[in-house]
Chain A
Amino acid sequence: MSAHLPTVPAEPKDYKSELKPIWCPGCGDFGVLQALYRALAAIGRPPHEIAFVSGIGCSSRIPGYTTAYGFNSVHGRALPIAQGIKIANPELLVLVAGGDGDGFSIGGGHLPHAIRRNLDLTYVVMDNQIYGLTKGQLSPTSPRDLRTVTSPYGAMEAPVNPLLTVLAYGAPFVAQGTPADMAGLAQMIEEAIRYPGFAFVNVQSPCVTFGQDDWQVKQHRAAMKRLESLGHDATDLLAAMDKARDYGRELHTGVLFRNPAPPPTYESLVRERQQAFGNDVPSPARVLDAFLQK
């Protein structure tokens, strides 16, 4: 049996809230949610010690479907809010989730900075290459030439490559999954959460209503290639980047990169700085004394 059972065994249902998902039947996000319940049960932290932050989009509804403290914020701003939470209370397990539009388009400016600060956050992106909530417009990961209601003659831009991007920004843990392999996804999310630093999981989570008909979970099942079985060395950044380049052409699943020497987390540096002043600190009530002119 599993060697690392938590002391109080948690069950996936402990993390499932009363709120019923409004996602379309067949949506990839159902599988992601299920995998997440599993990962959280495996970790075993009680729900009240988890803060789960999202932005806006179909996938950003996800915190409400868990029993954790949730924050379904505004479009693109999940990462800044999550960082504030983690700095304010480093004891919390802080999860961030959202879609590709939320993370790589409107919130794209926050990503490099969250990564370089390296807070111990887990960021799960449900990447469906489309704007589903607003009915099927181009997203930052839509493939070139994709025809949508805002690109009726085909997309004229190259897609963002989320994997290569986060690797280039220096993310210490990068993985990719699909709801076609929920068990693998659960394991990957669990590993991301356990990783002591910023962990990024890109989930190719197809949109059943506005996505491409020939790139649904069914096709993922046939197309996915496990990095493990390809002999990929996840400690090798260049090998990870090489595999990341296949984004949009191949569906690699598993851990692309796991920095074996995790850099210090931001919150640990915050704590060090706070402690550097010791106990010999003037009371906040004496804060005006420094302005006295003698």
Chain B
Amino acid sequence: MNPTPGIDFARLSLKDALDLAVLVEEEAEERYLELTLQMEMHRTPRAAAFFRFMATNEKKHGEELQARRSKLFGDEPRRVRRAMLFDVEAPDYDEARAFMSPREALEAAMRSEQKAQAFFEAALPHLSDPEVRSLFEELRQEEVHHQALIEKEAGKLPAEDPLPADAFEDEPAAL
């Protein structure tokens, strides 16, 4: 699917690009928080903890980008809006499962970082502004960095539980 309906990359200014980047992080943070809540509500605490960790990361990155934007452009109004982008870095809803293992959560996050990397890569050929191009290069690189971060988390994980997640699960409840 086209994650940025309504955005013309050829006409993207640096301010727009920074705003876009902030919104991408904001969207990802929100989604990770949603998934955290889903996991908490469905008694999957370890995946929840990991998603919360990811949400914090995205928030931090978003704030850094926002700070740069404010420094360069102050309070100048945004032209890019959330409605113009869709699941750029946010993990897909269908990645989530009740009782998913931390490793599965990690893999889901990894796929979304890869998705984001692919997004910035795909945008590069359409960019005309060199400053924007270099920002996108940087953002692409940032996603690669995130992936390394996730790899590192993976290293901390205990060995995967030999039993499947639903091995001793109760029947789902009827409402």
Binding site for B on A (CB under 8 A): 1-2, 9, 11-13, 20-22, 24-28, 30-31, 34, 38, 41-42, 58, 133-135, 179-184, 186-187, 206, 208-210, 216-218
Contact = CB atoms under 8 A, between A and B. Distances in A.
B95 A26 contact: yes
19 contacts: A1-B79, A2-B84, A25-B39, A25-B96, A25-B98, A27-B93, A30-B34, A31-B94, A38-B83, A41-B82, A42-B83, A133-B175, A180-B1, A182-B1, A182-B86, A187-B5, A209-B172, A210-B172, A218-B94
Contact of A11 (B37, B38, B83, B173): B83
Nearest to A42: B83
Nearest to A38: B83
A208 B81 CA distance: 31
Interface in B77-126: 79, 81-84, 86-87, 92-98, 100
B159 interface: no
7 A-B pairs with the lowest CB-CB distances in the bound complex, closest first:
A25-B96, A217-B94, A30-B93, A25-B38, A183-B86, A135-B174, A181-B1
A244 B82 CA distance: 33
B6 interface: yes
Contacts of B38: 21, 25
Nearest to A23: B38
Contact of B97 (A11, A26, A58, A179): A26
A130 to B, nearest CB: 12
Contacts of B8: 1
A11 B81 contact: yes
Contacts of A26: 93-98
Interface residues of B, number: 34
Given A1-B6, A135-B171, A182-B1, A22 B41 contact: yes
B57 interface: no
B87 A182 contact: yes
B2 to A, nearest CB: 6
Contacts of B35: 25
B52 to A, nearest CB: 15
A218 B174 CA distance: 26
Contacts of B1: 180-184
A90 B11 CA distance: 41
A25 B100 CA distance: 9
B172 A135 contact: yes
A76 to B, nearest CB: 16
A9 B80 CA distance: 11
A208 B83 contact: no
Contacts of B164: none
B42 interface: yes
A24 B39 CA distance: 9
B171 A186 contact: no
B45 to A, nearest CB: 13
Contacts of B100: 25
Contacts of A209: 98, 172
B82 A11 contact: yes
Contacts of B2: 183
Contact of A24 (B5, B82, B86, B98): B98
B93 A34 contact: yes
A186 B86 contact: yes
Contacts of B87: 182-183
A134 B84 CA distance: 38
Given A133-B174, A135-B171, A187-B5, 12 more contacts: A1-B79, A2-B6, A11-B82, A21-B38, A22-B41, A24-B172, A25-B100, A26-B98, A133-B175, A135-B172, A180-B1, A217-B94
